[in-house]
Amino acid sequence: MGGQYRITGDKYPRLRRPKRRRRLVLTIVASVTALGLVGWGTLQLIDVFTGDEDQAAAAGPKADCATRVTSSPSPKASGSAAKDLPAPGRITVNVLNATPRAGLAKDTADELKQRGFRIGNVGNATEEYDKKVKGTAMLLGAKAAEDTALAVLNTQLTGAQSKTDGRKKATEVDLVIGTGFKALSTRKDADKALAALTSPEPTPTASKTC
């Protein structure tokens, strides 16, 4: 076989090495791409966590604060309680009838007596008020009785007007029955109004604690 095949020409075939350079380039590109993806994912995770913290900071103390509802008496109620309202037994009521209906003053006085009030004069109203009180009633008393004795008597009926005069005794008041009067409030309603006056319910207020 040695003499059968002959190489002719001045060029010889070159034996090429495996394509290692192309593989190296592809490996480098793949590595760079993988590193880029890892870095991008890391940035996304950092944004997620730092974003939550920023939102919590932007929310301020409201996110960490709880609202508590507390009760406190209203200024008006506190002022009335501070005056030490007199009990009905310490108040003398003069019941005067300014209407044409006979016996109205006596019946009203009897009912007030049953409710614990002391009764003074019972009869017809003076000329100043006789048939001139158009509403339910007119409550008269000293200036010092305006938020004390008159306020307590006012719990026994609705629609009454209050007026002060020059008398000195704060625990003696007049109930002048007007033409619009029908009856005293029911005992239940009167007791409820009196209890609210002497023991005012606190007003709820909201406060925040962190």
Which overall architecture, per CATH, does domain 92-198 show? Answer: 2-Layer Sandwich (3.30)
Please state whether the predicted TM-score (pTM) of the whole model is above 0.85: no
The angle subtended at Cα 114 by Cα 166 and Cα 141, nearest 5°, is 10
Candidates 173, 108, 171, 167; CA nearest to 136 is 108
Q: Quick check: 208 and 68 in contact, CB under 8 A?
A: yes
Whole-angstrom distance, CA of residue 85 vs CA of residue 180: 28
75, two tokens? 């200024």
What does the pLDDT look like over 57-67, one tens digit per residue? 555 555 455 55
Average pLDDT over residues 78-88: 67
Average pLDDT over residues 14-30: 64
What does the pLDDT look like over 155-180, one tens digit per residue? 999 999 999 999 999 999 999 999 99
Whole-angstrom distance, CA of residue 27 vs CA of residue 39: 18
Give percent above pLDDT 90 in the chain. 54
